[in-house]
Structure 1
């Protein structure tokens, strides 16, 4: 409508003018056509049209919904007479535009002038309480709503339930829900969504089933929440039932639901169904669906599928986000795939996510797990404001590499920066102290957890202390610690104690630990092997044979040891006495290395071979362990100057540890070995662990 048309309107009946003008302003507010709204406002001013309270309220609403609170506030301040709608419009406007303190102040002024409160004003204020994370203020508003008779109003009740659930108080959220005389779709959805966001997914699904049994209308929002609950619980059976409901209701083309379905199937490790939905709904593919699929492949350890999905994402011209990169880098960390990780790091930098604390944290972890803790430190140093996840990632990297002093220094810096430590922080600290023999420091950290930092020790912390004392040979103290624990040690705790008994030759305590482990993990061959080693050291071959018979009778197979190296984006896996590669060249290299290291002092530890055979055969057996074959292969195929990184699924044996020290000396190469326990950095005849691991 042009200016002439508006003047024609202004000449009509006043009531009709107001109604039509209000309708136009309302449509501009809904469509957020601010420029047209401003033009109309200007024409009203130029035409000296009287702006009554009714029209001013509509103008305030239009400006508020368009984010122009400056105009809305000026109009509100100049109003000669305000009514309940005026106050509510301003409160809602402030709340919708994230100006929560001003919303609260306006609400208080509304009460002070004696204006009657409305359910809409309460709803806006409750949203402000959530955003300000003020449960105290929220409970006060709840009391006021009860006094004003609004607490049983559905609109207010839904917001109260939402407020309590978002503040993590599901008991009160359920109480509000239960007290509502009439429960609609919004209230049910608010309750279910609250359970999901607070991690109580079982209750969420129970509430969803009750919602259906009460014949409440199901929409996309509640289906999304129910699917998210299935994702967390990895419940693909119920997820499939929800999938059928989505199809029956005709929501299968809803992009958000399709993405949530892919996420549900991925987290339930049903990658076939996740991939099928992804492939069939090409119109719904976006960064969320791609990332959900990638994350599923990562959780399944299918790194190649994850990377190929990422390549397809880029080909489609879709920009990855921080979650995409975090998931892929995490995959590289788990697989210790350094070359893929370095390439992804380059992509992260190009996409400007290298300063994101979450992506940076996964990079820190990835470099740590790939053996390059100095790279972890460098990535950390480039984060402007590291959060506790980044600090914990750096602590974890130092712990994995047995750098206890570095871990303690990092912890102190973390505390100095005002970062609150959590349970993960102390696990890393205790592991770092354990691997460097800093027993007193580790015990001090353990005892300070609850007293100083308010972190209650859990099973993993107690297990770390058992390991700390056991490695140091303080087996009696470790035993006393176990006897005084508030619960029985878990498998890791008993395994640590058994390993310590093996190292320090304590047969009696070793037998106790082995019996406990066999009860907890009857199929774990490692327990039998460790106890067998203790017996062999004592020359009790009859007991060794008895244990082996027990394994045969119980069909318990010893976990085979293997090592692997990544060279030019290809993983090469080796077993002891390996025959899958060009063994002639490898064994020739091994033989020449053996001669060289013997000349500089290496003596084979043949007593470690727990089989009755002559010394020459024992030496040959040790000489062809998987980690040594992997080192020889790398020396042949990797350029001089590049560190050799070997990964192993079991603990590196004492003899190989000794041999690789000498190999690093005679070859002048840096050799990094990641075993099941930690990293060993071999250089010039010594190891970073100082022979304490």
Structure 2
């Protein structure tokens, strides 16, 4: 251009900023200033948006300095840009000072502030501002309500979601699919799965976001695993394009119910779209194959991963341990150390479990010491439970009992359960009776503890004590749940000895 004006400079800055080329927008703004042009409200607003997009707070503060020297300091568009910068990159106290210092506030400025509080995890502040906004006569829009629903809800989460839900209904926004999906996600994260499922079924258009939220929540609840798979099959039949998040969630469910067939199908579906595994998908596949007993397939996925993290290594170690391959688990841990990948507490928990179920007492003790001394990981109740189980399974009941007595953590039912189980196997009546006494106090309705103590008495020929234990079990109504088997075929599932 032979001649450039502030309008042409601003058009370039706005174009770059609106299309996500934030660095280019800042470069053009700098050139404009060097050429002797002062910005207008639109060039300042677009440049602030670029700084916010890059999280370049220092540059944003320099722009703010230019604004405060000029005549656009009170412009609503510019002020909203400054609010967004401080809310996303700086401090909400500074954003609040700017907000309450504004002569006039529009819906955008309210939304920016509420979104900022949500981004910072300040749920109560976001709700307070929403109420203030409505008291001042401002009507929230879909962006306002969508932001509020993204907040991390606390103990009163269901009540707050219900209030927002009522507001959506009152304002006539129920037909907005994005808000419906946000409600499904919010209800799911608060554990109100029935409300989430009902909303999902009433959605005019099912989308991948709401479906993923619901499946992920179902996956966290073992009793809803089949519901999650049914939901996935339904969304799949609608020819909706799947993303990595939903596929990882469904693989997690497949791992929980040991559905190897569906897990393989999802793996094949993913490979059609992307021939190499990213870290999250690779980890989900390792976990699924390992929990379904297909250790060779888990190992194959592990070896084919271009990049691995501690979860990748730990998932395969856990799979080896679960299926009795203790030596392989330890060999993988040694390879992990050789490649300078630092193990975490879950890695050592999986290793101790593997040693416990393979009878590697000395190796388990060595790993426990390495966890504390070499890696500085503080033992949790789960680690101590594994060590107690390790000693108990190896017949070292006195060592297991001494560990419980000396540790600083309050003994859990799993710790005393390991002692009682081992006492039953090795016939140590004194320790068995003490463990059972603790277990009866902790969980008086758990039938397995009474059965184990009765078995210990029966093995020692103390039939009167065994009969008394069984009688106590009946008096406390500690009913044993019947076991059942689930057989899957190509056509249907059949449950044998289904519990009442």
Distance in 2 (CA, whole Å) between partners of 1:177 and 1:400 is 52
Out of 403, 422, 439, the position equivalent to 1:517 is 439
In the alignment, which residue of structure 2 is the partner of 1:292? 213
**Superposed, which structure 2 residues align to 1:391-430 within 5 Å?**
391-430=313-352
Distance in 2 (CA, whole Å) between partners of 1:518 and 1:84 is 79
Distance in 2 (CA, whole Å) between partners of 1:176 and 1:314 is 47
Distance in 2 (CA, whole Å) between partners of 1:401 and 1:89 is 60
In the alignment, which residue of structure 2 is the partner of 1:506? 428
Out of 104, 128, 145, the position equivalent to 1:210 is 128
For the Cα contact (< 8 Å) 1:430–1:464, is it kept in 2? yes
Residue range with higher mean Cα deviation, 334-343 or 371-380: 334-343
Pair 473,569 (structure 1): closer, same or farther in 2 beyond 3 Å: farther
The C-alpha deviation readout for 1:494-548, integer Å capped at 9, x for no partner, is 2112212222211111111111111221111111111111111111111110011
For the Cα contact (< 8 Å) 2:361–2:390, is it kept in 1? yes
**Superposed, which structure 2 residues align to 1:50-89 within 5 Å?**
51=4, 55-56=8-9, 58-66=11-19, 67=21, 73=27, 76-77=30-31, 80-82=34-36, 85=39
In the alignment, which residue of structure 1 is the partner of 2:118? 192
- Equivalent position SS for 2:119: helix
For the Cα contact (< 8 Å) 2:48–2:82, is it kept in 1? no
1:117 is the counterpart of 2:117: no
For the Cα contact (< 8 Å) 2:9–2:28, is it kept in 1? no
Out of 467, 481, 488, the position equivalent to 1:559 is 481
| CA-CA distance at 1:91 after TM superposition | 6.7
In the alignment, which residue of structure 1 is the partner of 2:466? 544
In the alignment, which residue of structure 2 is the partner of 1:455? 377
Residue range with higher mean Cα deviation, 223-232 or 533-542: 223-232
- Equivalent position SS for 2:261: helix
In the alignment, which residue of structure 2 is the partner of 1:681? none
For the Cα contact (< 8 Å) 1:234–1:264, is it kept in 2? no
| CA-CA distance at 1:557 after TM superposition | 0.9
The C-alpha deviation readout for 1:440-468, integer Å capped at 9, x for no partner, is 33223323334433433222112111112
Distance in 2 (CA, whole Å) between partners of 1:116 and 1:279 is 48
Pair 536,261 (structure 1): closer, same or farther in 2 beyond 3 Å: same
Distance in 2 (CA, whole Å) between partners of 1:221 and 1:445 is 52
Gaps of 5+ in 2: 70-78, 102-108
**Superposed, which structure 2 residues align to 1:259-274 within 5 Å?**
259-268=181-190, 270-274=192-196
The C-alpha deviation readout for 1:549-578, integer Å capped at 9, x for no partner, is 101111111232334443446444445xxx
| CA-CA distance at 1:487 after TM superposition | 1.8
In the alignment, which residue of structure 2 is the partner of 1:443? 365
Pair 242,459 (structure 1): closer, same or farther in 2 beyond 3 Å: farther
Distance in 1 (CA, whole Å) between partners of 2:330 and 2:196 is 44
The C-alpha deviation readout for 1:277-298, integer Å capped at 9, x for no partner, is 2232223x21112223333444
| CA-CA distance at 1:303 after TM superposition | 4.3
Pair 278,57 (structure 1): closer, same or farther in 2 beyond 3 Å: closer
In the alignment, which residue of structure 1 is the partner of 2:264? 342
Distance in 2 (CA, whole Å) between partners of 1:70 and 1:156 is 20
Out of 448, 455, 469, the position equivalent to 1:533 is 455
Out of 177, 182, 189, the position equivalent to 2:100 is 182
For the Cα contact (< 8 Å) 2:168–2:174, is it kept in 1? yes
For the Cα contact (< 8 Å) 1:528–1:547, is it kept in 2? yes
Pair 225,396 (structure 1): closer, same or farther in 2 beyond 3 Å: farther
What is the TM-score with the length of structure 1 in the denominator?
0.60
Distance in 1 (CA, whole Å) between partners of 2:12 and 2:48 is 14
Larger radius of gyration: 1
For the Cα contact (< 8 Å) 2:184–2:196, is it kept in 1? yes
For the Cα contact (< 8 Å) 1:154–1:187, is it kept in 2? no
What is the TM-score with the length of structure 2 in the denominator?
0.81
For the Cα contact (< 8 Å) 2:225–2:256, is it kept in 1? no
**Superposed, which structure 2 residues align to 1:151-170 within 5 Å?**
159-160=85-86, 162-163=88-89
For the Cα contact (< 8 Å) 2:372–2:379, is it kept in 1? yes
**Superposed, which structure 2 residues align to 1:288-367 within 5 Å?**
288-300=209-221, 301-352=223-274, 355-367=277-289
| CA-CA distance at 1:409 after TM superposition | 2.3
| CA-CA distance at 1:325 after TM superposition | 1.2
- Equivalent position SS for 1:410: helix
Pair 163,447 (structure 1): closer, same or farther in 2 beyond 3 Å: farther
Pair 53,280 (structure 1): closer, same or farther in 2 beyond 3 Å: closer
For the Cα contact (< 8 Å) 1:57–1:89, is it kept in 2? no
Gaps of 5+ in 1: 1-44, 122-152, 165-172, 196-202, 581-648, 650-693
Pair 250,384 (structure 1): closer, same or farther in 2 beyond 3 Å: same
- Equivalent position SS for 2:288: helix
**Superposed, which structure 2 residues align to 1:653-692 within 5 Å?**
none
Distance in 1 (CA, whole Å) between partners of 2:49 and 2:330 is 50
Distance in 2 (CA, whole Å) between partners of 1:487 and 1:178 is 45
The C-alpha deviation readout for 1:383-422, integer Å capped at 9, x for no partner, is 2112232222212211211222222222233344443433
Distance in 1 (CA, whole Å) between partners of 2:448 and 2:95 is 52
For the Cα contact (< 8 Å) 2:26–2:50, is it kept in 1? no
**Superposed, which structure 2 residues align to 1:563-582 within 5 Å?**
563-568=485-490, 570-575=492-497
For the Cα contact (< 8 Å) 1:193–1:222, is it kept in 2? no
Pair 78,160 (structure 1): closer, same or farther in 2 beyond 3 Å: closer
